[in-house]
Amino acid sequence: MVFSHGIRTLGVLGAGQMGLGIAYVAAVKAKVPVLLYDRSEVQLKKGMAFMDKLLTKDVSKGKLSEVDAKDAKDRVTVIATERGIKGFGEVDMVVEAASENVDIKTSLFRTLAAELRQDVILATNTSSISITKIAAAAIPDGIAPTSAEGKASASRVVGLHFFNPVPVMKLVELIPSLQTSQNTLDKARAFALACEKEVTVSQDVPGFVSNALLMPFINEAIMCLEKGTATRDDIDKTLRLGMNHPMGPLQLADFIGLDTCLAIQQTLFQGTGDSKYRPSVLLERMVDAQWLGKKNGKGFYEYD
């Protein structure tokens, strides 16, 4: 079956909280078959168990019928880890949601470009890394970036930034690189709309719009805690009750992952040289301690 966005099968690279959420909205909302790959079998198992839990919850709340939940589940196929990225086979688009690390992402895009057809859209869910740099990595070795082949290879890469929890948050940020073609942008936008998301467009600057605004806010809250301006609970309560934020900034940092917050802040600081983006020492120390937030049980708060 061909859908209006032209994506007959989607590949999702990474089965962490973001990748799983993207697989979920693709299967449930856009009704697109999904191939899910992660280099960790444990992560894949955890991801699929979470998918089952979400589908069961949606059925029990009357948001999905049992038949629709089963159809959605059947749309998601896990690729055996030993097959690697080759397992994506004939997908029309891949959304990459691996760790927020420039070396990991550029290396993955090099492999994706080498293994997949030239017309496959390659989207990255990066929160802050240059899409232009990731696109340049998708040009095969020995091909000039300014040649027709070099331009075509890079033109299929685009930023498609989802928000956590993906099934709940209504926004997707669409980020063209210097090289992205209009066709790539149109298809990526159509896919996000099919996932029932609203789309905003941001230029390819460090952190795009979302994290250029959110990360200094979170960092300032951590500095308030560091300086003893107020207690953890009072900082979060101030923003929750005073400004109607659903979560305070310290709880939100835990929810995003302190390692991810630090990685984004480092990208912002290095990419702009602006001291307003310098990560707080407390955040660095907490990541040194491997206190990563909700995902591993301890951040500013404790989790079961």
Binding site feature residues: 14-19, 38, 100, 105, 127, 164, 295
- 129 is an interface residue for ligand CAA by CB under 6 A: no
Which residue's CB is nearer to ligand CAA, number 138 or number 214?
214
* Under 8 Å between Cβ of 200 and 225: no
* Under 8 Å between Cβ of 262 and 279: yes
Site string for ligand CAA, 207-236 (x = CB under 6 A): ---xx-------------------------
Catalytic residues: 127, 161, 173, 211
Which residue's CB is nearer to ligand CAA, number 163 or number 277?
163
Which residue's CB is nearer to ligand CAA, number 85 or number 256?
256
**Strands 157-162 and 171-175: what pairing?**
antiparallel
Contacts of 65 (CB under 8 A, 6+ apart): 59
User: HEC profile for 57-116?
Assistant: HHHHCCCCCHHHHHHHHHHEEECCHHHHHHHHCCCCEEEECCCCCHHHHHHHHHHHHHHC
Torsion 253-259-264-269 (CA) sign = positive
* Under 8 Å between Cβ of 162 and 133: no
Residues in the chain: 304
Question: In sequence order, what are the beta bridge partners of 34?
Answer: 10, 76
Binding residues for NAD(+): 14-19, 38, 100, 105, 127, 164, 295
- 181 is an interface residue for ligand CAA by CB under 6 A: no
> Could you give the maximum distance between any two Cα atoms of the chain, in Å?
59
Judged by CB under 6 A, the residue of 10, 51, 54, 91 near ligand CAA is 54
- 142 is an interface residue for ligand CAA by CB under 6 A: no
- 267 is an interface residue for ligand CAA by CB under 6 A: no
Torsion 113-116-118-119 (CA) sign = negative
Rounded to whole angstroms, the Cα distance separating 50 from 68 reads 17
In 3D space, the residue among 69, 87, 88 whose CA is nearest the CA of residue 27 turns out to be 69
Select the span of 164-172, 189-197, 234-242, 278-286 touching ligand CAA (CB under 6 A).
Answer: 164-172
Residue 87, both tokens: 């397992």
Judged by CB under 6 A, the residue of 9, 124, 127, 153 near ligand CAA is 127
- 271 is an interface residue for ligand CAA by CB under 6 A: no
Site string for ligand CAA, 56-95 (x = CB under 6 A): -----x----------------------------------
Smallest distance, ligand CAA to C-beta of residue 124, A? 12
Judged by CB under 6 A, the residue of 16, 150, 167, 176 near ligand CAA is 167
Residue 171 backbone dihedrals phi, psi, to 5 degrees: -105, 145
- 280 is an interface residue for ligand CAA by CB under 6 A: no
Judged by CB under 6 A, the residue of 256, 262, 283, 286 near ligand CAA is 256
Smallest distance, ligand CAA to C-beta of residue 111, A? 24
Give me the residues that bind ligand CAA (CB under 6 A), please.
54, 61, 127, 163-165, 167-169, 210-211, 246-247, 252, 256
